[in-house]
Chain A
Amino acid sequence: MIDAHCHLGPGLRAQPPFGPLFDSETAESLFKLIDGLGIERSIIFAPSWQGGRAGEDFVDPSYERANEAVAAATAAHPDRLIGFARVNPKFGSGAVRELRRCFEDYGFRGLKLDNEADAFHPTDLRLLAPLAELCEARTAPIIVHTGFHPCEPLIFLPLAQKYPDIPVILGHMGGRILIDAVITAQHAPNVFLETSGQMPGYIARAAKAVGADRIIFGTDIPFNIPAVETKRIRSVGLSEADIEKITVGNISKLLGLTQPAMAR
């Protein structure tokens, strides 16, 4: 399996409300966490920055320190870890610089955006344009956090439609408002629905509505229980072929991954 939604780095040390359940600060702790679950590769990126824990000031709203930590992990384990950049578009040219660094220096393969945590309007294409253009040049996917307002899936449709060559992955496929995610996916062929945290019934419904080709497996480690996420995708009545697409094939195609031996 390839996990398309996984967080790593020192930002996890902060203990905000609804913080991480497990330790995935380092590659070693992540590997221990997913041991035995059949996850061969993880797409990793920074968690949302939410200030420092009392007594420890970790100030990294621009995610530079966080991306650096992800880069160190992917450099040490290129066979198992794929890095995505995380930037806060509010930082303008600084964000563009950071994304460029992530692509060119760190070899990252995509971009994670979260407009709830980093407070921007996904429909502000003027703000997102320079970042999108960098992604478009590389056909690098953008994975976004989705759920209720302010990150309803439909507000990512303008971005997806303006940049049809960028795969836009809706993280958590809209959560409770799956229906929005389905409608969004039905209006743009470059939109994909990611499974982490979603109810079994809704995953089944999504697969029926948009097809297994458009679904991508993720765990949202360390904010979900990995074993629950990996078990769920196999328990919603999908065929073996569809499970293969969702857990390996689709994301591999998007990232041009040559798959390692499909050892099970």
Chain B
Amino acid sequence: MIVVDAHVHMGPGLANHAAPPLLKAETVEQTLEIFDRSGIDVGCTFAPLIEGGDFEDYEYERSNRFIYDAAKRHADRFIGYCRVNPNLGQQALDEMRRCKEEYGFRGLKLHPDWEYFYLNGPTVRPILDRAAEYGWPVIFHTGYYPLSQPTLAMPLAEAYPTINFLLAHLSYRHTADAIVVAERCKNVYLETSGNATALAIREVLKSVGPGQLVYGSDLPYTEPDDVMEKIALQPELSADDRALILGGTMARLLGLNAATRSTVRAAAQGRLS
């Protein structure tokens, strides 16, 4: 069994937040400490949102590069995701290419609220065209009207059947909407990070089943153990289904094969012993 955290932030942008996050994940060492403590084998890792002021990285180039540089020596623990602002047009496309060709990143994070675009808005399409070309899963922050309502993912999921979409945070308060989408689109996965309640997780399990539920923590804003417990302690959840949710599905979406998995496990064990 491999534990893959689908929603990890790391980097200097975290130091710049007006309200400091719960844990520290500015450096690789700090982030690995959280991973090891919580039993996370691999983290899908991307830039935190940029609050600006002293730390200037509006285009996310510094933050993306940081993840590449820092995580190079721990490629078995970090799967780098690209983060861009689709409104920046060509710059965003160029940054995606750099992330793929130079950094070897394997996925894309988009935040409709912070970067101010409708989840299914016109600036997103060229970005998704490229993500489809790269075979990247795309994780959207979701859960706030009017820009990141999960409903808006439905036309995208239909238009891009080869892209695996992850709707983060179980869409917060709008889990019910997210379920409507996931029921109709098999390439949509609901991801638990943030403040997913045990009740919301259960609703997803009841309606869509474990195959479209994916564990993510939102660290360092949230304590990963907290989220993992809400999954692990779900009544009537088989060990197999739990393994799917905690990492099996994500490993499949990222093409982490058995060989990679055993390498990861060995490395993780080596680290712990």
Contact = CB atoms under 8 A, between A and B. Distances in A.
Contact of B18 (A91, A117, A121): A121
A149 B88 CA distance: 24
A177 to B, nearest CB: 13
Nearest to A90: B52
Contacts of B118: 16-17
Contacts of A59: 87-89, 91
Contacts of B87: 49-52, 59, 61
Nearest to A91: B52
A127 B116 contact: no
A91 B56 contact: yes
Interface in B89-139: 89-91, 113-118, 121-123, 125-126
B58 A91 contact: yes
A119 B115 contact: yes
Contact of B114 (A15, A53, A119): A119
Contacts of A119: 49, 113-116
Interface in A18-42: none
B83 to A, nearest CB: 14
**Interface hub of A17, A49, A53, A148 (most chain B Cβ within 10 A):** A17
A90 B50 CA distance: 8
A148 to B, nearest CB: 7
Contacts of A49: 87
B145 A51 contact: no
A171 B204 CA distance: 39
A16 B122 contact: yes
A89 B121 CA distance: 24
B236 interface: no
Of A52, A90, A92, A149, the most chain B CB neighbours within 10 A belong to: A90
The dominant DSSP class at the A interface is loop
Interface string A75-106: 00000000000001111101000000000000
> Interface residues of A toward B: which range?
20 to 34
Contacts of A150: 113, 144
Contact of B89 (A57, A89, A118, A126): A57
B54 interface: yes
A48 interface: yes
B255 interface: no
A121 B144 CA distance: 16
Contacts of B126: 54
A124 interface: yes
A235 to B, nearest CB: 28
B3 to A, nearest CB: 32
Given A16-B117, A124-B51, A148-B145, A51 B56 contact: no
Given A116-B116, A124-B51, A127-B53, A51 B89 contact: yes
B43 interface: no
A120 interface: yes
Nearest to B91: A59
Contacts of B52: 88-92, 120, 127
Contacts of A126: 18, 53
Nearest to A149: B144
A52 B123 contact: yes
B11 interface: no
Contacts of B145: 148
Contacts of B86: 51
Nearest to B89: A57
A4 to B, nearest CB: 24
B90 A57 contact: yes
B158 to A, nearest CB: 18
Contacts of B54: 92
Contacts of A57: 89-90
B172 to A, nearest CB: 11
Contacts of A91: 52, 56, 58
18 contacts: A16-B121, A16-B123, A51-B87, A53-B122, A54-B125, A61-B58, A90-B52, A91-B56, A92-B52, A92-B53, A117-B116, A120-B51, A120-B52, A121-B51, A124-B18, A126-B53, A127-B51, A127-B52
Given A51-B123, A124-B51, 18 more contacts: A15-B122, A16-B117, A17-B122, A49-B87, A50-B116, A51-B122, A52-B89, A59-B91, A61-B87, A89-B52, A90-B52, A92-B54, A119-B113, A119-B114, A119-B116, A120-B52, A126-B53, A127-B51
State the 6 A-B residue pairs at the shortest beta-carbon distance, nearest first. Answer: A90-B52, A51-B87, A124-B18, A51-B123, A57-B89, A92-B53
Interface of B: 18, 49-54, 56, 58, 86-91, 113-118, 121-123, 125-126, 144-145
